[in-house]
Structure 1
Amino acid sequence: MLETALQGRVASQVLDGQRTYDMVVRLDEPYRNDRQAIGEVLIDTPNGGKIPVRQVADISLRHAPNQVWRENAQRRIAVQANVAGRDLRSAVTELRERVEKQIALPPGYFIVYGGQFEYEQEATRLILILSVFATLGVFLMLYGHFRFARVALQIMSNVPLALVGGVIAVYFMTDGVLSVASLIGFITVGGIAARNGIMMISHYIHLVRHEGEGFDEKMIVRGTLERLRPVLMTAFAAILGVLPLVFARGEAGKELLQPIATVVAGGLISSTILDWAVTPALFYKFGKPVCDYYLSGKEEAEHVALNEPSPSPVLNPGD
């Protein structure tokens, strides 16, 4: 009864043309704000009678929440805010520092930073974990193909070259904001950089194995120049494809694609430039045992042994 008097209850509906309106029954506005009038509201008793509220309750005005929210059986008060002009992570970091310095919470109270920031943190942790497994998987596949851990490590060394340009691009183009979309861009450009290393090292081995080149500086220079065109074509095509998105900062609908494009463009520029110095130098330093292995024919012998069918027993009925 008290809820009906103060909050109201739908008693019926009124049809006005094509629209239906609820008919709400409650006390008039002056009585809902009058403590004496509220105290005279009659409520039911267990024996079927009615008594005024003032006989069983003290009515007073005080500040209190109009609704009580609970999460995990604990009371919760949500304070919401939007961030404009800066990234969410730095805003939460500054907010946390100020709260720790300026606000002393009573015993039993604690603060949890949730919402979009919480989702972003969870997505970041998931991407980092998946990146570790992806890197390990790529390394194992490269090792299985080339049969040398040093070759796999040389190819994987191209990934940091891409990260250099990606970090620089994020710093200048997005004011240093590292978002989940940026992490996705790092994974993408890392894969492209590793592909360039595979192309170059595979071509070095091809020159030594099938074209009679010796393992010397001449072979390294030839292999590098012969792979210059396809690598540059891939890099230029990708950079030109994402360039409109790089300069689309602040445009509606481009919030997710712009950080990815920025990282991809910066990473491709740095990996393409630095790859021509790092990969040839590393292979010239550590690649001779790899070429000797392929020239010795051991790789072909192992391939034949793996693919040769095992002999099956033959039963002779006469024995």
Structure 2
Amino acid sequence: MNVISQIDSIDTLNKLPVMEGVTLQDIATIELRQDHESISRSNGKDVLFAVVTKEANANAVDVGNKVQEVVNDINNTVKNADVAVVFSTSDMVVDSVNSMMREVLMGALFATIIILLFLRNLRATLVTVISIPLSLAVTLYLLKVSGVTLNIITLGGVAVAVGRLVDDSIVVIENIYRRMQKESFSVQMVISATKEVAQAITSSTIATVAVFLPMGLLRGGLQAFLLPFALTITYSLITSLVVALTVVPLLSSWLLRSSRLKEEKSSKKFGMFLAWNLRHKWVTLSLAFFVFAASIAAYVYMPKGALDASDAGYVVVKLKYANDVPVKEVLDSGKKLEDYMMKQDQADTVLLQYGNSAEEAQWGNVSSLAEVNYTIMMKENADAQAFMEAVRAQKKNYDGATLTANETGIMSSGSTTEYVDIVGDEFTAISSVAKELTAKLQTVDGVEKVTSSGDDTKPEFAFNVDPLAANGQEIAMQISAMLNPMPIGQIELDHVSTSVVLEPSVKPTTEKELTSLTLMTAGGMVPLSKLATLEVRNEPAMIYHKEGKKYLRITAEIDPKLVSKIGANIQKEIDTIKAPDGVLILAGGASVDQSDDFGDLGMTALISIGLVYLIMVLTFKTLRAPLAIMFSLPLAAIGAIVGLLISGVTPDFTALFGALMLIGIVVTNAIVLIDRIKHNEQYMTIREAIIEAALTRMRPILMTAIATICAMLPLVFGHSEEGSIVSQSLAIVVIGGLTAATILTLIVIPVIYELFYFRKSAKQRIGKVDSANHSISSL
């Protein structure tokens, strides 16, 4: 037999008999309260946030659309429901993809205009630019087959490759075009002209693709970030090569059949300059070496910046008080600041978050109860800087609080930070080192703010009980019962299990009220002040552990454009501190991550250079000609560094990635030039072969370079989309490097090539002079 009795309403609980003639409501006040772990508000209204995280291989846009469908369904079917999507990455992806697509189309347009200006023939231009849509269509199909989605990274690869897509086609059509000026048109002539440059463009494309192969050796997240980009460019280049060797000759045989072209003469002045240049090699090589050395020195002393991922569409604001400030005062101030920001014209949505939840705590996301955080979504074309300045100016209205406002992106934290962990067994020792280091870091140029986890303290009350006057355990039990809420059971309200908590019997607000509490002892009721002395200490609000040892973390917010410089200066300050035995000082943060990424890309670049050289050796079946081609790389470095200096852009991770791309891009022109020289050597002296090749290949070299440069101009002047590797610094590096390499390839590479064959070339010139003298004497 079961006997069941349960309380299912507040009224029943009120009338519950405690003793004869006395009910619970006679001796206590009973009320139902809503217990919140945290507070979330949107534009002044309490809300419940739900975060939907997509699977790694899921499409962000599809997930976003399905979430919106569910939201609409809830609003239509659930009474009084008001559900809205506050933020969706799918919207960001769609906007960014559309923006990047515009830059791709602008780049293609610029490349087409350049080709038209050079060839001055509409049909020849159409034959060339057909490679862009064809290559892009096949590339997108190959990406789909590979399981790679169309996103910011892959579209960034397309934007970078769009100028390079026409390079192979330009070389083919220009050679056909040049042959047509001297020969009668025929299908056989088109085939012959294509074969003449086939080896050069094939080896240059393979070399460019080889640059991206080592990315498979990169680590974890870096590989996942760069591999889709590399696949996009690889597919684009291979497709453009196939189009250049098949579609371009086919269309040329059809569209150019009836074209009548006048022969264009080579530049005599450039030919004379080349002849002088080859006779005075030391002048050219000395100048090139001097400029290269100066560029490398400039790069070494240039501060390296962090990847810029800020998005002025979002602003993060933080209002923080000392930990001993009452929660009610913090919340009241937080709502006051919320109301002010909602009234600003620039703000579209103001989100407020306060407190902690059990779910967030599982992942280590715990914030102080004296801190209120805001995320403000700005209106389109709003002045985020003016909004932040207005918010910061409100600090005077919040005495004792720290108020910060920074623009941010959804994928960035709003600031670039360095951190130093002081690890040890004794908290006193690590605290002493932390204070010394904090003072030193505040003097480092570029450090905007220094905080320590040890600064986040809370008052701790300790009672030292006189063992002769009372039992310490009994005193602790009585104080705990008087000051702490006590759970006494559960009741069912509206079919929901609800806790019943006995509130503290006393709520002292001052130290005097606390020490005046009366406790029961063996001798009767005695004030707490006669049993124990009160000691108030400020203890860390949270204790951090690393590998079983206590540690304090010092965090420095730094200028993102000076990451490497500030990181080095911070390390110098660390080296000046003599840590006690058992205390370790470990540095980390943006500069360490940057150094690791730069190291990985540097190793990738070395492997890529080795692969490119190997491909050249297999192509030309000699060691010296490929070595001459490789000298185009330091020439590109000159332009890349000069471009950064002129633009004032701080080199970051994407700039270094642009330098890696240059390895494959700039050797293309050198390959086209050297291939012509090797072809000429069959019936010319080396010097004659060099001059003829430079004059003949000057136009396709300039066309391909200028087309690639103009195709990347929208990336320089456009907005760098968040989450994309394609940035302004990458475009500047590629444009600057390609510009310098193109010009110097026509000037320096011929000198280096003849230098590698100096003896043979000298003998040929002497033999030619002797032959000429012999002919004269015979006469």
Query: What TM-score range do you get, normalising by the shorter chain?
Result: 0.5 to 0.7
Contact 1:39 1:59 in 2 (8 A): no
What is the TM-score normalised by the length of structure 1?
A: 0.68
- Following superposition, the deviation at residue 93 of structure 1 comes to 2.2
Cross-structure match for 1:153? 627
- Following superposition, the deviation at residue 255 of structure 1 comes to 8.5
Cross-structure match for 2:753? 283
Residues 225/36 of structure 1: CA separation in 2 closer, same or farther (3 Å cut): same
Residues 4/89 of structure 1: CA separation in 2 closer, same or farther (3 Å cut): farther
Cross-structure match for 1:192? 665
| 1:79-90 to 2 correspondences below 5 Å | 79-84=554-559, 86-90=561-565
1:206 corresponds to which of 679, 689, 695: 679
Greater fraction strand: 2
- Following superposition, the deviation at residue 254 of structure 1 comes to 8.0
- SS class of match (2:583): coil
- Cα distance in 2 between the residues matched to 1:67 and 1:257: 40
Cross-structure match for 1:173? 647
Contact 1:35 1:60 in 2 (8 A): no
Residues 29/36 of structure 1: CA separation in 2 closer, same or farther (3 Å cut): closer
- Cα distance in 1 between the residues matched to 2:481 and 2:596: 44
Cross-structure match for 1:313? none
Residues 36/241 of structure 1: CA separation in 2 closer, same or farther (3 Å cut): same
Q: Does 1:127 align with 2:601?
A: yes
- Cα distance in 1 between the residues matched to 2:754 and 2:502: 89
Residues 230/282 of structure 1: CA separation in 2 closer, same or farther (3 Å cut): same
Cross-structure match for 1:70? 545
- SS class of match (1:82): strand
| 1:1-319 to 2 correspondences below 5 Å | 27=504, 30-31=507-508, 34=511, 37=514, 60-84=535-559, 86-101=561-576, 105-174=579-648, 177-209=650-682, 213-247=683-717, 257-287=727-757
- State, as a whole percentage, how many aligned pairs show the same letter: 24
Show structure 2 runs of 5+ residues with no match: 1-477, 492-497, 520-527, 762-779
- Cα distance in 2 between the residues matched to 1:124 and 1:131: 10
Cross-structure match for 2:358? none
Amino acid at match of 1:140: L
Residues 196/38 of structure 1: CA separation in 2 closer, same or farther (3 Å cut): farther
Render the CA deviation track for 1:127-171: whole Å, top value 9, x for unaligned: 111111111121122112222111121111110000011111222
- Following superposition, the deviation at residue 39 of structure 1 comes to 12
Contact 2:635 2:744 in 1 (8 A): yes
Amino acid at match of 1:280: P
- Cα distance in 2 between the residues matched to 1:86 and 1:24: 54
Residues 11/39 of structure 1: CA separation in 2 closer, same or farther (3 Å cut): farther
Show structure 1 runs of 5+ residues with no match: 15-20, 43-52, 292-319
Contact 2:486 2:504 in 1 (8 A): no
- Cα distance in 2 between the residues matched to 1:290 and 1:35: 102
What is the TM-score normalised by the length of structure 2?
A: 0.30
Amino acid at match of 2:541: N
Contact 2:720 2:726 in 1 (8 A): no
- Cα distance in 1 between the residues matched to 2:488 and 2:752: 83
- Cα distance in 2 between the residues matched to 1:8 and 1:266: 69
- Following superposition, the deviation at residue 112 of structure 1 comes to 2.7
Residues 10/278 of structure 1: CA separation in 2 closer, same or farther (3 Å cut): farther
Contact 1:127 1:183 in 2 (8 A): yes
- Following superposition, the deviation at residue 97 of structure 1 comes to 3.2
Contact 2:639 2:739 in 1 (8 A): yes
- Following superposition, the deviation at residue 72 of structure 1 comes to 2.3
Cross-structure match for 1:17? none
Higher relative contact order (CA 8 A, sep 6+): 2
Contact 1:248 1:254 in 2 (8 A): no
- Cα distance in 1 between the residues matched to 2:505 and 2:707: 72
| CA RMSD, 1 decimal | 4.4
Residues 112/133 of structure 1: CA separation in 2 closer, same or farther (3 Å cut): same
Amino acid at match of 2:701: V
- Following superposition, the deviation at residue 205 of structure 1 comes to 1.7
- Cα distance in 2 between the residues matched to 1:4 and 1:188: 70
Amino acid at match of 2:704: T
Amino acid at match of 2:652: S
- Cα distance in 1 between the residues matched to 2:635 and 2:625: 16
- Cα distance in 2 between the residues matched to 1:195 and 1:6: 79
- Cα distance in 2 between the residues matched to 1:195 and 1:202: 11
- Following superposition, the deviation at residue 13 of structure 1 comes to 10
- Following superposition, the deviation at residue 274 of structure 1 comes to 0.7
Contact 1:69 1:77 in 2 (8 A): yes
- SS class of match (1:111): strand
Amino acid at match of 1:90: K
Give aligned pairs, total. Answer: 272
- Cα distance in 2 between the residues matched to 1:2 and 1:256: 63
